[in-house]
């Protein structure tokens, strides 16, 4: 899908260039080889000209709307809440069925967030905000890390991921059960250029069993020492203040304001 600013310009350019190319082909007339060469060149060059004009006319300094680069409904709900101060429409990938899948092949949260933001923004011709986040447990060498969503093997199986985490920590003493959540958020413009990014962390420890029903992922196990409660027990309002995602977006928002119309 082309951005709304680009579509009218592309139509005008197409209407102007195609008749010109047709007249030149007719002018070649009976000169068969010349006519064939021109027709072949036109079919190759015109699309490139159109793409060049399209890119040149993209407004890469003003963000008329923003696509949230995730299909995770829990993340979408949090992002929409945290981005309320923005005065632009917030869309998500469910509104862009042509958005290609992006393999999270990076070895860091920053690499994966950048992969998603840049590839989706170029494919859609839109401003895209993507994030990558997960849990880091130093006693486990940083696990589950960038594999947080697939720790037990199947993507998004929170119950299995939590069970595996508890199994890995079964012999770890209380004083070494520290952990922290990480979120890296990246903004890319319609050309796929990164324009802003920020990281947020939230420190806590891993409880011995899940508590509470709020949140998602490892939230029932992630205890905030100051509150003696897990994210699963704390209200969504409190989590929106303390979470890694909230802290990343708090740092990112002032950067986003620069691109508002």
Residues carrying an active site annotation: 132
What span, in angstroms and rounded, lies between the C-alpha atoms of 15 and 237? 53
131, 188 in Cβ contact below 8 A? no
The alpha carbon of residue 6 and the mean position of all alpha carbons in its chain are separated, in whole angstroms, by 22
What span, in angstroms and rounded, lies between the C-alpha atoms of 133 and 81? 17
155, 183 in Cβ contact below 8 A? no
Strands 229-230 and 222-224 come out as antiparallel
Candidates 98, 60, 100, 67; CA nearest to 190 is 60
Phi, psi of 199 (to 5 degrees): -125, 140
């Amino acid at each position: 899908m082309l951005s709304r600013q680009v579509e009218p310009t592309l139509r005008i350019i197409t209407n102007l260039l195609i008749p010109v190319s047709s007249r030149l082909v007719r002018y070649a007339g009976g000169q068969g080889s010349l006519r064939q060469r021109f027709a072949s060149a036109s079919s190759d060059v015109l699309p490139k000209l159109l793409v060049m004009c399209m890119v040149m006319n993209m407004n890469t300094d003003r963000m008329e709307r923003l696509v949230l680069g995730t299909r995770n409904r829990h993340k979408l709900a949090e992002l929409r809440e945290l981005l309320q101060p923005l005065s632009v429409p917030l869309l998500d990938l469910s509104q862009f069925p042509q958005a290609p899948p992006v393999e999270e092949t990076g070895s860091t949260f920053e690499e994966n967030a950048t992969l998603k933001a840049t590839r989706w923004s170029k494919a859609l011709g839109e401003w895209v905000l993507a994030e990558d986040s997960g849990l880091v447990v130093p006693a486990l060498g940083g696990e589950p890390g960038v594999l947080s969503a697939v720790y037990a093997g199947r993507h998004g199986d929170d119950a299995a991921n939590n069970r595996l985490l508890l199994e890995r920590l079964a012999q770890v003493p209380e004083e070494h059960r520290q952990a922290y959540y990480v979120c890296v958020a990246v903004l890319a413009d319609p050309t796929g250029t990164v324009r802003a990014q920020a990281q947020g962390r939230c420190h806590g420890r891993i409880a011995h069993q899940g508590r509470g029903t709020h949140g998602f992922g490892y939230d029932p196990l992630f205890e905030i020492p100051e509150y003696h409660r897990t994210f699963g027990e704390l209200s969504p309002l409190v989590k929106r203040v303390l979470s890694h995602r909230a802290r990343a977006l708090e740092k990112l928002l002032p950067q986003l304001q620069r691109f508002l119309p």
